[in-house]
Amino acid sequence: MRIAIVGCGQLSRMMALAGIPFGIEFSFINDSDNDDTRCVDGLGSVVKLSDYWQVGQDAQALFDALGKPDTVSVEKEQLDIQILQALAPYTRVNPCVDAVLACQHRNKEKSLLARLGIPSSPSLYCVSAKEAMDKLKLPMVAKSCSDGYDGKNQWVLKTPADVEHFDSLNMQDYIIEAWIKFEREVSIVSARGLNGAIVHYDITENEHQNGILKKSIAPAANVSAALTKKAQSYMESLLTELDYVGVMAMECFVLNDELIINELAPRVHNSGHWTQIGSVTCQFENHVRALAGIELGSTQILGSVGMLNLIGTDIPSVNEMSQALCGNSKLYWYNKVPRPGRKLGHINFLAADAETLSQAMQPLAKVVL
């Protein structure tokens, strides 16, 4: 069994580390000539896309260079969809092209959600901010439809001056959303197997700084059974509708015990990293099991679980961080060259209850947040 993944980042790294024990081999498509591939060094062959494939060509050479994989998957939604389209005649693409397409464009995602009756914030596609201001009222947020992640290519519009400035940028392909005064942000990570079976992880509470995830806690506190059921049923609608295979993540705002969907990710997700220490089967393994047609593993949660992202150059060294670990925390280092704002690793924590978890996380949170 061989799995090829588009992308050479930490998510590919962790999928490979979860899959290698099953005897699965990996190959990776480096679709960005700038990016280094240190995250996946040694974990499989790396194929530089431009050496094997140009848009419009057939993908036989690329498929061969990848070692004729049984399936192709992704670690990101922002990729040239034609890579997946070109490989589709040669091998299974999971999640399928349509699923990635739906999640890589904010307006298509909005349409999908609307079609399935899943709430997301009111938005307008490619109208001037001035016009949007009349309909949605300030504050609003403008987002590029396809170039935004980790808070990039987003503009918060609070004042008429912000509106005027945004319109002067002459952006293409964007949406403007009503600003949701949410109480908190949560996410749910689920997986659908090749046989259609679906499993869910516990709902996670997330804290962002400047649009980048810094901290996750699972299970999210004070989530009603009704809210959990709602989140799971939204996920089941989406996964079934898209004939999805693999792990999917849904980021949500919580407001008055309702969920407003902010974003879908057709892949393993940073807010599911805690599953590595806190669940019988982590999200990476379940993604691999889904792709390989192996029955999905138990998503049972093992206690109160937390995750801290290690971002940028202003954090201790990997050795210092290792020395700061306690018996219930683990380090996941991505082997990247440190750069400001770059995700370099994360630390997971497991505890018997939320209070103990909070105490265990505090010393490291002080240093890295």
Residue ranges of the annotated binding site for ATP are 106, 143, 177-180, 185, 208, 262-263
**Binds a copy of itself (CB under 8 A): choice among 7, 9, 44, 219:** 44
Region from 72-80, 92-100, 138-146, 324-332 binding a copy of itself, contact rule CB under 8 A: 324-332
Our CA dihedral for 365, 366, 367, 369, rounded to 10 degrees, sits at 60
Kindly state the tokens that stand for 281.
């089967």
Region from 160-168, 169-177, 219-227, 286-294 binding a copy of itself, contact rule CB under 8 A: 286-294
Phi, psi of 135 (to 5 degrees): -85, -40
Q: Between residue 164 and residue 223, which ones bind a copy of itself under the rule CB under 8 A?
A: 199
**Binds a copy of itself (CB under 8 A): choice among 323, 337, 340, 366:** 323
Q: Between residue 94 and residue 123, which ones bind a copy of itself under the rule CB under 8 A?
A: none
> With b meaning 16 or more CB within 10 Å and e meaning fewer, what string describes 11-48?
bbbbbbbbbeeeebbbbbbbbbeeeebebbeebbebbb
- Sheet (strand 92-93) strand order: 45-48, 25-30, 2-6, 71-74, 92-93
> Any idea which residue has 């938005």 for tokens?
123
Task: Count CB-CB contacts under 10 A for residue 354.
Answer: 15
Region from 53-61, 79-87, 295-303, 353-361 binding a copy of itself, contact rule CB under 8 A: 295-303
Q: Report the residue number, 94 or 144, with the smaller CB distance to a copy of itself.
A: 94
Q: Indicate whether 318 belongs to the interface with a copy of itself (CB under 8 A).
A: yes
Residue 316: CB minimum distance to a copy of itself, A: 12
Q: Report the residue number, 14 or 49, with the smaller CB distance to a copy of itself.
A: 14
Residue 39: CB minimum distance to a copy of itself, A: 11
**Binds a copy of itself (CB under 8 A): choice among 6, 29, 43, 239:** 43
Q: Indicate whether 337 belongs to the interface with a copy of itself (CB under 8 A).
A: no
Region from 123-131, 159-167, 222-230, 278-286 binding a copy of itself, contact rule CB under 8 A: 278-286
Q: Indicate whether 340 belongs to the interface with a copy of itself (CB under 8 A).
A: no
Q: Is 2 left (phi over 0), alpha (psi -120 to 50) or beta?
A: beta
Per the DSSP assignment, residues forming a β-bridge with 213 are 208
> With b meaning 16 or more CB within 10 Å and e meaning fewer, what string describes 283-319?
bbbbbbbbbbebebbebebebbbbbbbbbeeebeebe
CA 356 vs. chain centroid, Å, equals: 28
Per the DSSP assignment, residues forming a β-bridge with 258 are 255
For binding to a copy of itself (CB under 8 A), which residues are involved? 1, 14, 17, 20-23, 42-44, 199, 277, 280-281, 285, 289, 292-298, 302, 318-319, 322-323, 325-328, 330-333, 335, 345, 350
